[in-house]
A and B are shown apart, each in its own frame.
Chain A
Amino acid sequence: MKRKDNAFFRWFFGETDTMLGRVEMRPQQEYTETASDIREVMQDSLTQDQTGDEEDFVLIRVFHRLYRVAAVFFCVALIAVLLINVSWLPKNGGADNPVNNEVSARYIESGLQETGAVNIVTGMILDYRAFDTFGESNVLFIATVTVLILLRLDKEKKAPAKKGMPVYQRPKDELTIAQAQSRDRIYEPKNNVILQVVAGFLVPILFIFGIYVILNGHLSPGGGFSGGAIIGAGLILYLNAFGFEKTERFFTEKTYKWVSFFSLTFYCLAKSYSFFTGANHLESGIPLGTPGAILSSGLILPLNICVGLVVACTMYAFYALFRKGGF
């Protein structure tokens, strides 16, 4: 691929940061903490009550007490106001409450014919308001990306930073992933027999139950989000019991990347096609099937599977990043 001498392409391929020096931003100082710094913090926290001038100290104490009183007062006032509001609301559970308007009536009356899903909530969130759910999946993905930015550790120690190096190319002044892992192994219940036996029994059940919940999302309570969370819990349990060597045989950063990419792209394309044809009154050509069968209700089943994959990968990625700083 030929790199062009365009500012955009240079930014895109990571050669320069076009914003560097133009907007006012300071790169974060590399912070190296010496032993004396740590000792100072410890001293501060131990002798916090004795530091500071006497008058300052009194003022701060008065402020703290006032703050606590004001906070409690504010919370109680908030609860009281909201409770008065609640007491004027219409009675809970009445069928004529203004919440139950024509929108929900429409969903209930013609949801089955229009979406083919027996579970009306699934039909609602994955058909009528499918772009909303797409946004939710993207929120999960973006959250993983930000956690990755904040917590990821380098694979191996890079060369120290040079003077004119852009900020994003500098190595992070932190542990490498191998050091973090060796440190992690001190506290981890290593090869705990109790955990391993229970995990060997529970993990297959969790996986099967999660897959069942995802595949039956349009027929019974559940769907992509809950089933994905169950599968993610199974993955985390497996990781806890058998360690990173076992999970890295089938789940690495690359797996996460491709699974998320394909799920989100498929979701976007499928739903865009469906909305495009729907808005132009064209036949979409997606059969709705007989309600109640597994292979029914058009796009809802594949979309549920996509959402489930994204959620499961996200849960596992959160855990692995918090635990080790990489996966």
Chain B
Amino acid sequence: MSTATRPAGKLVTPLPDLPGDRPRAVSLTVRTLGPLLLIGAWWTASATGLLTPDILAGPPDVVRAVGELWGSGELPDALAASLTRSGTGLLLGLVAGVVLGVVTGFSRSGDELFDSSLQAMRTIPFLALVPLFMVWFGITETAKILLIAFATTFPMYVSTAGGVRGTDRKLLEAMRSFGMGRLALVREVVLPGALPSLLSGLRLSMTLSVIALVAAEEINATAGIGYLMSQAQAYARTDVLAVCILVYALLGLTADGIVRLLERFLMPWRGQGALR
């Protein structure tokens, strides 16, 4: 064939360009490059005087502020208060979202009963509920935690319901024919199958929990990162404000890392076997 028209040259080994055979160190470096570039740009801007401290403090000032806040114990306290709030709220929201999602996704009567009201509630901006929650619960932890729970329920609900509805119906039929009960079906087939959707719901809910946290803490908080921010705002401390923003950003990054880890550990059957 081609050897007839071309002189017989030396043979080569075919080298497939497969995804995923990049060394971990390289991929980690590339991943950290983006944030590092951002920090570099910020540093350059404030060092050249483009960014004055009254607009936003430069990185050295921020590092100093971190040291100061950490030394006085303000930052650890605020962090602990905020993480407890968003963690508790997120947990409540996730449980509610998964339970409602499984019920509406898996049973027709559940879908008919709950879905339209949940879809209606989903479009309510949770910020609009802040005054109402204040009236109902006062300036308490409950109000803040419930606000976060409310905000995080719906992304989880929508993702879970979608994932559960997408379960392979042939697989369900087969499992039923072997005598598997409804609870076991949900636990052993539906939820593992819906895990990718659950994890994307978790990603969205984690982000929202931080956003709802800011909203809850900006109003009448006496502890937490949001409180630290409103204090800094009152005294025009842009370095402290930058610290708080960085803390939120780090929370987002950590949340993403957690989901990535979960993806690896919760779904060991994925990524195994050939593409087909």
A binds B: no
Q: Which residues does B use to contact A, with CB under 8 Å?
A: none
Q: Which residues does A use to contact B, with CB under 8 Å?
A: none
